[in-house]
Structure 1
């Protein structure tokens, strides 16, 4: 298995940045003698890269890496000032308390590696979402995080009783799923006067590859055009 098959597939590249589709169950940073996805990509391109955001190990999807510290700083500012639109796909087998809307609360450390939502405005996390029916009691969630907190989407969906399938921290520990079903699907931003927009489908996961999932996603169309709840 070559580097791209094991860690990522290349989505786009220009003079400023590289965008990849990170595979699930791949660390962001190198750990326990195993390359992280950043090092794997640097070795593939034979150049230094600069991270501006990250994805959890279980999460697949779009990841931007800058080609210089200057570009990294400019992209980081866009992330911090919420000028980058991010869209995620998730699947849950639990019925949500509400089928669409806004999830807002303070993020606070809980037990072990967990986080939780609180009524506080400290470390505020804001998440917009829609959900759509799939088969066998499962639902597809299209999620637009306004902020970018650790475990934000995982905690948000858990808070409405719809923990993500295969999430070993926030979902039931039944090990029936082949991966954590969270995928960074779309991203849009303006850099140096140019509008960029990228999307990529998940490459792995039985539920993500099923016809019912792909058909539902196709029927939704452009996720940017959904009537997103006002923040």
Structure 2
């Protein structure tokens, strides 16, 4: 065993030193690493460092002799059904070395749960495209919501994107068909929300600001078109990320989303329209992990295209993804 110098990679940008060691030397305990740092045996670019030091690409980490633990056999890459590969590949609307963006169909859950055996997370091995890494989810959308779902292709990218969502540096835009026409036609919904119950049957409800479990929730909305006072096409931009936020906020406007099985059920469903949730994650704008910003859009699902046609709404062509 001897001292080695390991260069920090692009995928490890801004990772903490202790997490970097966890990736490269998973058997080394936190206490042992702290001792190595305290005694100056671990250095970054020749300088002493502590476990919370953030690393940058190109820096050299000095690693003293560390006894090697027996390495477990690498987990075999799961064999993915060819039909799943085709289905998942069809969903891809953008892909590069860092991210994959899907246009998820309505009705497909993002993650598993009670009674759910088929979901996006369970099919991500179909999207390796030769990479050693399995893609990772960095956010979620509801089972019945269609549209854009962002995946990270490496652990480092996943950390960057998760931070972008936490700091609200990701702009999300949704399209919805609602029953009725909101008054005023444009504005901001500032209505706190709270969870009622737990598990698959839980609901999100409007809350009073002074309630202990009330969570701040803001949604910008704009009416893009309307069919009289019967139905409207809304553009929704959530400024916070609460469960079912858009669905509850639309109900609070007095214009529940068409086909919503949980919210606004007291409003009769109009005849001749699909009884499926008409909520679509239309566009994402986010900081690209390699620099610049990525803007991606997703075509409407079939049931919403039919509703748009019946109501005379014109969505226009879906713009190609662009990184600028």
Match in the other structure for 1:141:
234
1:74 to 160, 180, 183: 160
> Contact between 1:179 and 1:205, CA under 8 Å: does it hold in 2?
yes
Match in the other structure for 2:73:
none
Instruction: Report the TM-score, using the length of structure 1 for normalisation.
Output: 0.83
Counterpart Cα distance in 1 of 2:196 and 2:281? 25
Match in the other structure for 2:120:
37
Higher alpha-carbon deviation: 131-140 or 143-152? 131-140
Counterpart Cα distance in 1 of 2:169 and 2:313? 30
Structure 2: gaps of 5 or more residues = 1-81, 320-324
RMSD value, Cα? 2.8
Match in the other structure for 1:227:
none
1:148-193 CA distance string (max 9 Å, x none): 1111111110111111011100022666633100000001112232
Alignment of 1:1-231 (within 5 A): 2-3=83-84, 4-5=86-87, 9-31=91-113, 32=115, 34-45=117-128, 48-110=134-196, 112-120=201-209, 122-135=214-227, 137-172=230-265, 177-191=274-288, 192-206=290-304, 208=306, 210-211=308-309, 215-218=313-316
Instruction: Tell me the number of residue pairs that the alignment of Structure 1 and Structure 2 aligns.
Output: 220
Shift of 1:51: 1.1
Bigger-Rg structure (1/2): 2
Counterpart Cα distance in 2 of 1:195 and 1:107? 31
Structure 1: gaps of 5 or more residues = 222-231
Counterpart Cα distance in 1 of 2:99 and 2:262? 32
Shift of 1:120: 1.5
**CA 204–65 in structure 1, closer or farther in 2 if over 3 Å, else same:** same
With a CA cutoff of 8 Å and minimum separation of 6, indicate the structure with the bigger relative contact order.
1
> Contact between 2:136 and 2:151, CA under 8 Å: does it hold in 1?
yes
Instruction: Report the TM-score, using the length of structure 2 for normalisation.
Output: 0.61
Counterpart Cα distance in 2 of 1:16 and 1:193? 11
Match in the other structure for 1:224:
none
